[in-house]
A and B are shown apart, each in its own frame.
Chain A
């Protein structure tokens, strides 16, 4: 019943239009960027004419759907050529035609794709909220269809195909699911633009999951995305989810270069990048271990930063009760992968816990996993070539030791852990050129100073248990304190201008570190042990000077006070007490005269 040439000719024109639009248009010259798109549009218009000529003959619904397909194609064509209003009209007409049948397997896929395109169109007009409503309604339609019908629906292209060309159910399903994946992918972006961070994360997660299920992914990129998503979960302290993302990232990454994929050929560049990508995933794992340990420490520490045994018992009891609950929660979480992949992911997960470690043994297991990833990451990020990355990894390694030390009860062993930190940081610091790495230099100076400070504190505590301080311990304490002072001073020197003058007013970003350095130096001079009273007096005098700096500075610049409240309070106290003690010391010295 169709016009000249019949139905096959109509289908041929339609097919030609699609080829022009998708394939030929890529080769258009820059001076005529839309040449093929315009030709495609002309063909689509022709098909539309032919269809209306045949109006009386066919079944009403079939005709309506065919017309809707054409409106859809025209809508996309117009938006592609930057004619948004015309594009919107066509797309709207498409959805109007389909409205009564939108839940039928003939129309549902087309309807969802039209909604997707309306979403994109409105986002181009910077109206993300409007885009969001279209995309959400596409999402709802998918869910309703899957609930009520669920059979693989027709692909829009099939409405202009001869019977023998029609797609298999498998292919139909694949294309339908892909359209829906795109809905979720656009929603993830829309939510991010609307600052709905949690929802955006959830939709990223679901998009990744669906990419796996429908084999529409490129392993390295997928793994990288999943590993990055784990870092989002870390910031929310969702360790189970973070671990799941990382385990899946590692499993999928291991497929890279193994699974031949017809669609996505890996480029040489991709092959070249493999070791780097692997090391990056390792770095995400390091952060996982570090955060889990640090969060546990926060739960367990008392008001002076030591492990609180009562709290430890309480949490252990609590954990027993929660174990069953956790299992249930796990089943509700969105898991990646189907059967095979899922098993590998679960096996990977078993290698490291996702619950807070509550004692040294548990902490050590997580620490060791983290340390292994440190080695792995360093294999690629070597200091020669990747200075910043390499040092960041070493800093993480040091942080792992630091938090592990919190769980260690034995002071001597704890001290050894801090010594390990010194041993890894000091040589790097010595080589680093502050001309290019000023910020990192300062970070290392502060960290080295703090570590020496910590070691000195531990030696003092060990010494306090002895009946009498032996000379070896005294020497050790003093030398650790001197090292701490040295690194704090190096940091403070880095703030001086080229003429070696210390800044009158400290910049915001270094204010607190600088004040804390001054404060710690004051305390360190107070802790130096000497039997020589004159020397002791000198140390007290130096200590007083540093405390005074803090007090004076805050008086001069009151806006600095909030940054150093505790330190300031203690400094004021010391400034009022120290002169009296010094006076007493002097009095003891003078009778001989």
Chain B
């Protein structure tokens, strides 16, 4: 007699911590700082399999840089990095406030994730192109040539908005700063980055591309497509997966993170992969440099999973206390990126509490001044400023076709 069949059941992953509970972070599988090896630049993708399941870390619990991934000591660069992270956080804080004050309609902060974009930016070269999501403002704020006021003008859709009021706040585009136009459709930019990198290779250029995606969006088909094309054509691209554990209310296990890693997808696709402490500025800098160097030397793409935690709400339209513990971020074992680099620099004698206070004050003043400057140009919400009506019809095509000229005429008449 055949055995009686057992009823099947559907597995639906759940986070361990819901509101009122404590998250069990043991699922992260952390490695101690300094414990993970640093492979040769020309390592084969298959040989990086172990790195996809461990965690590259440089800073230990007391702020010492240890192990093979510790970058050569460069106090000036790290001080610049700390300032960039603090600037990003100050900018976010001010813009959150501006949203509450109804100066802007919407905002997305990157609280807790500042190290990833800012350190990565410092590892790239002029001319490289990033294909960011809406949570890599650090790529822009790490630079000195992108005025904060200009970003704020975009957020306010005002007369100086480079996007002419066409885009939702935070959907910046900065070609001259190597920052591709942000799209509302998740994951689309991941495969575009691969195409950009292929183009650079086709032309015999020396520029590389850097692609960005969140843990949740890895479930989109463009993620898989990007891995396939990057592998097939050995495209000079860094494929960054920012695993901040959450996609709005959805825990990363629902994106496919349970009992595996996002870095593992790289190895499975024939792409060298690293899993890196995203709150460790030195590890981010070092891993980014490794991947950039590989790409630049025609050694192929690298996928990096940055392990971090989305400390803030998903957006100004989100209330995380409805789906996760209120104090979750404080218990995240990788801590806070700013506190950790500050501890390191202080320990090295390259930073002090005094200086920290002064820099913080100066940045707060700089952000406040930038907002004042931006506000001088009005805004859709503050003074009802809207761009001239023809900007709605221009730029759909290179030249305005007859039907849009006609619709512009109608709009002028009817509105």
A binds B: no
B interface residues (Cβ-Cβ under 8 A, vs A)? none
A interface residues (Cβ-Cβ under 8 A, vs B)? none
